[in-house]
Structure 1
Amino acid sequence: MRIKSQILFMLSIFLFISCNKEEFEIEINNQRTVFMYLPWSTNLTSYFYNNISDMEEAIQENGLDNERVIVFLSTSSSEAEMFEITLNNGSCKRNLLKEYVNPPFTTEAGLTDILRDMKTFAPAESYSMIIGCHGMGWLPVVQSRSKAKEEFVYHWDYENVPMTRFFGGLTAEYQTDISTLAKSLSNNGLSMEYILFDDCYMSSLEVAYELRHVTNYMIACPTEVMVFGMPYSTMGKYLLSENPDYKAICESFYQFYSNYQYPYGTLAVTDCSYLDKLAELMKYIHSNYSFDSTQASHIQRMDGYSPVIFYDFGDYVQTLCGTDTKVYNDFTTLMGKVVPHKTHTEKFYTASRGPITVERYSGITTSEPSTNGKMVDYPQTSWYIDTH
């Protein structure tokens, strides 16, 4: 009888633990975490606070179901904090999770740790990431000033012009390579539903290809974006949705910027699952067609630099092989899958040249035909290696 009682007691403990474990797993598996990552960006801090407030406005209007919103914010060049935005009785509250001193967010080890903190504080079935800072597409940090043959002036160096938004701050010590982001996400076993770059020039084939294994979608601007950034107060509900509405995200962006005091904006959504197929096709195209450099001036420029660094990708390919109807039709069909949603105002803004008219637009850029001194490291990009 005593042995039977002990067996029944042990079974009751086992069932209790199993039930509690099951409940715990259900709770985690139903959570979605959106991570707003705002590293030190020199002169954007006040705009980051506005971005956070706008996201809170969206949360207050639409509520939080199983979503959790975690924010990493550099409050100075040497201090940062991680907090969670929660909703209580219709009002948002920022719950501090961790404070950082001199966080090494530009290194693989440092960014890996930050992402691990986010994952530990808010474990979820799916994750998304919003990155706000300055941006310079695929260009590596080490090249920021030392390797360029000419004296180079970045779009953020211009004064007395409307501000626009590497990946990080204005100097190399606060900038992060795209490959570092990819490795840090992979180190944590993270595959994002989307990565949204609230930065200039990040809708680039070279960037998307580097990130194709760590995110399903990339949302980014192929040109400069005004310093206001994304209109989170209206766009936020689509970003926080269990199934993000990428078409509505683009429409929200267009509605805002077509009526903004500076009516300039471009945005596109890249489906990274098609990028390997696109690379295969581009390898075939590059092996069968040679680019006529005299035609470069006729390709849609997507920046204000001289020589141009970022060209419209679709226009480049049309210039390269557009006379081959079959190949070009295959390309355009595939591009409809690679970039399923895109939008732009009539013109985009550049700090150096002012507004530039958008005549042809595929939503994503390439630097392939550029002769700018910044191209010195281009042959080392994953995109170039796999398409040549």
Structure 2
Amino acid sequence: MRFKNLIQLLPFIFLFISCKKEEFKVESNNQRTVFMYLPWSTNLTSYFYNNISDMEEAIQEKGLHNERIIVFLSTSSSEAEMFEITLNNGSCKRNVLKEYVNPPFTTEAGLTDILRDMKTFAPAESYSMIIGCHGMGWLPVVQSRSKAKEDFVYHWDYENIPMTRFFGGLTAEYQTDISTLAKSLSNNGLLMEYILFDDCYMSSLEVAYELRHVTNYMIACPTEVMVFGMPYATMGKYLLSENPDYKAICESFYQFYSNYQYPYGTLAVTDCSHLDELAELMKQIHSNYSFDNAQAVHIQRMDGYSPVIFYDFDDYVQTLCNTSTEIYNDFKTLLEKVIPYKTHTKKFYTASRGPITIEHYSGITTSEPSTNSKMVDYPQTSWYIDTHKSLIKN
């Protein structure tokens, strides 16, 4: 599981930047820069190298024309490097642009600087970002362990089982809040074409809503993702295209994981341009319907936690206001715009419970009905605030 506590977080590492820059050439005809961001994630480094190699395989197949590929890779808990993948005579080369010592990527200032470096080395008309690590949805770093009412076992804490991913490292000093990512992108004036989270539990309404002003699309998994991560060798050409083929990205993901050693995978594409409209509709729904906690057991769980933290969003709304109501029909129509593409295998994998059958799938989760102790900070999320404030009367 990668991306850990993206928990409104983006888990990343490091504490002070020192660097060494090599000479670099600014390409005036660069239309697009794809930024692979791979911060320290404790036990995922070898898989990151595989991900990079697979992306290079896709580059060799597709070729590079008016795009550049920049990678930030933590090579240890205290060192990182930024390099560019170039293509020369059919072979990929990694050209180091900058080296870092204890980069503070968990802070707004530190992550802002890293993104500024990327933008300086490879200025472009448009940008996309791939984030690889451990993830834990919207949960904030500050309470990832300290505020739990009891000992809490994360999906990355289990041993001797197939591994999955999350946003950042396994401990708080290597984890980054989602709001920090959003602010750091905004500080650089960056609006990403897409942000792809190669981490667990990141296809969350709460996460997408926090990022809605800094990316057009979000590509992420609503459940845990196997430690292998995204199949970049086959998916890469669609991610690198001038006009990303989101349908093909989902199809490539499904084809890989339906035939994988562990045949479990979920993926969805969120169109962030519709999220403000969705929040307004959810505010109306919450103003007219009250949730019966006894109904939570009937909603599709998308994790292995007890109590559940991540529920299927559509199944929650369907349970809340009933499918026969006009407002649910409006919601369903809008949700199809919010999630234009999605895919899943018959089951998803959890470290704590093993495979779980998927009976209802919208491609995105919410933690709204959860009673888990981790919900202590949920009322502070932007999504909760904007979907629960009183309706304005004309």
TM-score range, shorter chain: over 0.9
* Mapping 1:223-262, distance limit 5 Å: 223-262=223-262
Contact in 2 for aligned 1:166/1:176 (Cα 8 Å):
no
Cα distance between partner residues in 1 of 2:237 and 2:154:
34
Please state how far the C-alpha of 1:31 moved relative to its aligned partner: 2.1
Residue deviations 1:141-171 (CA, integer Å, cap 9, x gap): 0011100111100000000100000620000
**Matching residue of 1:171:** 171
Correspondence for 2:113: 113
Q: Is 1:187 equivalent to 2:196 in the alignment?
A: no
- Quote how far apart the aligned CAs of 1:338 are: 0.1
- Taking only aligned residues, the RMSD between alpha carbons, in angstroms, comes to 1.1
Q: Deviations over 1:242-287 (max 9, x none)?
A: 0000000000000000000000000000000000000000000000
Other-structure match for 1:355: 355
1:8-57 deviation line (CA, Å, top 9, x unaligned): xxxxxxxxxxxxxxxx99x6364200000000000000000000000000
Once the 2 structures are TM-superposed, how far is the Cα of residue 325 of structure 1 from its aligned partner? 2.3
Q: In structure 1, how many angstroms separate the alpha carbons of the residues matched to 2:372 and 2:387?
A: 20
Please tell me the residue identity of whatever aligns with 2:185: L
* Larger mean Cα displacement after TM superposition, 106-115 or 163-172: 163-172
Inter-partner Cα distance in structure 1 for 2:322 and 2:260: 36
What secondary structure is seen at the aligned counterpart in 1 of 2:73?
strand
* AA matched with 2:40: W
Alignment partners' CA distance in 1, 2:37 and 2:229? 14
**1:43-78 C-alpha deviation (Å, 9 max, x unpaired):** 000000000000000000110011100000000000
Partner residue in 1 for 2:334: 334
* C-alpha contact (below 8 Å) 1:286/1:387 kept by paired residues: yes
Displacement of 1:375: 0.1
Q: Which residue of 2 is the match for residue 21 of structure 1?
A: none
* Equivalent in the alignment of 1:88: 88
The number of aligned residues is 364
When Rg is computed on C-alpha atoms for both structures, the one with the higher figure is 1
DSSP-derived class of the 1:147 partner: coil
* Partner of residue 298, structure 2: 298
Richer in helix (by share)? 1
Residue aligning to 2:221: 221
Aligned partner of 1:130 in structure 2 is: 130
Amino acid at match of 1:111: L
Distance in 1 (CA, whole Å) between partners of 2:284 and 2:30 is 43
Identity %: 91
Indicate whether 1:307 and 2:299 are aligned.
no
Q: Which residue of 2 aligns with 1:385?
A: 385
Give distance in 2, aligned partners of 1:199 and 1:73.
15
Q: How far apart in 2 are the matches of 1:309 and 1:29?
A: 46
Task: Tell me the equivalent position of 1:47.
Answer: 47
Q: C-alpha displacement at 1:356, in angstroms? A: 0.1
Cα deviations by residue, 1:155-200 (Å, 9 ceiling, x for unpaired): 0000010000062000000000000000000000000000000000
What amino acid does structure 2 have at the position aligned with 1:201?
Answer: Y
